[in-house]
Amino acid sequence: MGRLAGKVALITGASRGIGAAVARRFAEEGAHVVIAARTVGGLEEVDDEIRAAGGSATLVPLDLRDFIKIDELAAALFERYRRLDILVGNAAEFGTFSPLGHIDPATWTEVIDLNLTANWRLIRAMDPLLRTAASGRAIFVTASVAGRTLPYWGPYAVSKAGLEALVKIYAGEIAKTRVRANLIDPGIVRTRLRSRVFPGENAAVLPPPESVVDAFLALALPECSCNGEIITTESGSR
């Protein structure tokens, strides 16, 4: 039996990169993974890999910026499982490098809606299900730029700074429950988002997404006592 045997885990942004790697690992550990993303083909590929390895998954084609769909997903999870053991908020978009005054409002809205507001909607919708679980765990993905206020990183840095505040507030509110909420800063990883930010970088020399999944697993386990922390894959908490 795996360490997540019998658990139900919802993972967003799971069609590729870190989300897909986490989904495969959680499934290997015995969880039934509900994998959500906009790219149906990517979800199907991840599902094939999970099932070939003996795991089980449910595919949810979903644009998280369609917020009502998050509420509908929560209702469907309740009807089927009556709980949610693990939530991984991984989906994100970068936007653009630009002075703040030059950013198109549509780009700003797209990034903030996906990186920040959608994660609040996930917390809002999934909190009752996490509280029903024996040891609900919520894990969100941040980035070091959240605390560095670097020029030109605009909506991405703002969204991640807001996400860190959001999750820490939530962690304080659930401190006396069995639910735990934390963030992971995976650092430099070979992902499509990274390639968009640094198109001239040699991606072949970067660590693969699989290199960071142990940190996600540690925060998903029932014995994890961390709450409101930011875990990095290189140097522990910050």
- Encode pLDDT of 205-224 as tens digits: 888 899 999 999 999 999 99
Annotation marks residue 170 as catalytic: no
| pLDDT at position 236 | 46
* Mean pLDDT, the chain, integer: 94
Structural domain spans, the chain: 8-237
pTM: 0.94
Structure token digits, residue 149: 């206020």
CATH number of 8-237: 3.40.50.720
Number of C-beta neighbours around residue 100 at 10 A: 12
How far is CA 215 from each of CA 15, 118, 230, rounded to the nearest angstrom? 19, 23, 11
Q: Predicted confidence band at 198 (pLDDT cuts at 50, 70, 90)?
A: confident
